[in-house]
Amino acid sequence: MQGETQLEQGLTMQARLTIDLNAICDNWRALDALSGSAVETAAVIKADAYGLGAGKVGPALVNAGVSTFFVAQAEEGVALRAAIGNSPRIFNFSGYMKGDDQAVKEYGIIPVLNSAEQVRAYRGARCGIQLDSGMNRLGMELPEFASVALDIAAKRPELVMSHLACADEPYHPMNAAQLLAFTTMTAAMPATPKALSATGGILLGSPYHFDMTRPGIGLYGGAPFSDARPVVTLDLPVIQTRDLLAGEAVGYGASWVATRPSRIATVSSGYADGILRAAKGINLYAGETPCPVVGRISMDLITVDVTDLPEIPPHLTLLNTLQTVDTLATAAGTIGYEILTSLGSRYKRVYIGES
């Protein structure tokens, strides 16, 4: 059945992603308050601040009191440096490669050296050291670390760190095992600041805090930091509505069939914008009223059952305080990190609380 278009209303088809910088700063303060006053709380803003824009998130966090940042690539560090000025430290998790020399010298990006080879090759003045306490992803295991212990001591690293594999599961035996391994491996470096914990490790309590913590996802409102303020709102414009008879189908594969006369709204955005096609049982919200997504999510469009709404709003909301990145993640069988970092480039990004 033919529907009516909303062309006359002059709406734009661009979806709007609203990012609350005040909420990010509040989340940082809340995580900071979970460790003692002698523990520095850094901020991880790799992958463009988990997709939310390091150029905006970085300066907001500097204003909130962050003085150490972590990125995952030298290039990310260079871009961040332009946004936050010269004083904050920027560590690069991926360590050192020869091509990073300019980033190190001109932009003050500090590599977290993660192999004996990197320790020997690196000639810069400042560094961190990454140890492998059991995750087997990055960093030196004990024999490799021991083989360059003197070179490392001579470099006077600003940080020695490791990363927990299971910190989002508080009772997982890996946590205590990695804590013990890290403590043992670093026993000979009493004067070097130490860091073991990301968001999950902060929540494990003070034995895991050492001298610095490195939260990422908790800043952006995601699990396992359940007290986080939600950070993102995603509004998708309604570009068409259609009235269906019972028995008519919607979308690819005709996978959803109306069981009653139904009104279907088509909104602009789809899996090309990071709204995962695998997500099942999700809603779009008209204010606080949930409207079920029906039919398959396609590349640029999503169809929604709005039969029970008294009127059709100009946009419907996918992410809000009622349906968070973690709700969507669970519905798609993934984690909030992947939802955030998948949020697409076609959204108009609007920042709250910039100054």
Ligand X SMILES: *Cc1c(COP(=O)(O)O)cnc(C)c1O
Q: Which residue has the tokens 């004996």?
A: 116
Three-state DSSP class for 193?
coil
Q: Does 94 bind ligand X (CB under 6 A)?
A: no
Shorter beta-carbon distance to ligand X: residue 171 or 281: 171
Shorter beta-carbon distance to ligand X: residue 53 or 216: 216
Active-site annotation holds for 50: no
Given the residues 46, 56, 155, 194, select the one marked as catalytic.
46
**Distance of closest approach, residue 340 Cβ to ligand X, in angstroms:** 10
CA atoms of 89 and 84, how far apart (whole Å): 10
Q: Does 199 bind ligand X (CB under 6 A)?
A: yes
Q: Does 214 bind ligand X (CB under 6 A)?
A: yes
Phi, psi of 164 (to 5 degrees): -85, 140
The residue within the footprint of ligand X, chosen from 157, 215, 251, 270 (CB under 6 A), is: 215
**Distance of closest approach, residue 298 Cβ to ligand X, in angstroms:** 31
The tokens of 175 are what?
């946590």
User: CA neighbours within 13 Å on the CB side: how many for 26?
Assistant: 12
**Distance of closest approach, residue 198 Cβ to ligand X, in angstroms:** 3
**Distance of closest approach, residue 72 Cβ to ligand X, in angstroms:** 7
Q: Which residue has the tokens 């409102």?
A: 221
With CB under 6 A as the contact rule, which of the stretches 51-59, 212-220, 281-289, 316-324 interacts with ligand X? Answer: 212-220
The residue within the footprint of ligand X, chosen from 93, 107, 210, 285 (CB under 6 A), is: 93
DSSP assignment of 46-104 equals HHHHHTT-HHHHHHHHHHHT--EEEESSHHHHHHHHHHH-SSSEEEETT---GGGHHHH
Query: How many angstroms separate the Cα of 160 from the Cα of each of 29, 99, 102, 113, 132?
Result: 24, 23, 23, 9, 11
Active-site annotation holds for 98: no
**How many whole angstroms from its chain centre is CA 112?**
21
Q: Does 340 bind ligand X (CB under 6 A)?
A: no
Q: Cβ distance 290 to 283 under 8 Å?
A: yes
**Distance of closest approach, residue 29 Cβ to ligand X, in angstroms:** 15
**Distance of closest approach, residue 244 Cβ to ligand X, in angstroms:** 43
Q: Does 163 bind ligand X (CB under 6 A)?
A: yes
Shorter beta-carbon distance to ligand X: residue 192 or 199: 199
Q: Please, which of residues 224-283 interact with ligand X by CB under 6 A?
A: none
Given the residues 98, 122, 155, 252, select the one marked as catalytic.
252
The residue within the footprint of ligand X, chosen from 157, 216, 230, 313 (CB under 6 A), is: 216
Q: Cβ distance 345 to 48 under 8 Å?
A: no
DSSP assignment of 258-316 equals -SSSEEEEEEE--GGGT--TT--S-EEEETTEEEEB-S---SSEEEEE-TT-SS--SEE
- Letter for the amino acid at 80? L
Q: Does 44 bind ligand X (CB under 6 A)?
A: yes
Q: Does 111 bind ligand X (CB under 6 A)?
A: no
Q: Does 194 bind ligand X (CB under 6 A)?
A: no
Q: Which residues are within 8 A (CB) of 85 and not within 5 positions of it... i.e. 6 or more apart?
A: 62
Peptide bond before residue 224 is cis, with ω within 30 degrees of 0: yes
Spatial CA neighbour of 41 closest among 17, 69, 13: 69
Shorter beta-carbon distance to ligand X: residue 29 or 105: 29
**Distance of closest approach, residue 217 Cβ to ligand X, in angstroms:** 3
The residue within the footprint of ligand X, chosen from 217, 228, 236, 339 (CB under 6 A), is: 217
- Which positions are annotated as active-site residues? 46, 252
Per CB under 6 A, residues contacting ligand X are 44, 46, 93, 163, 198-200, 214-218
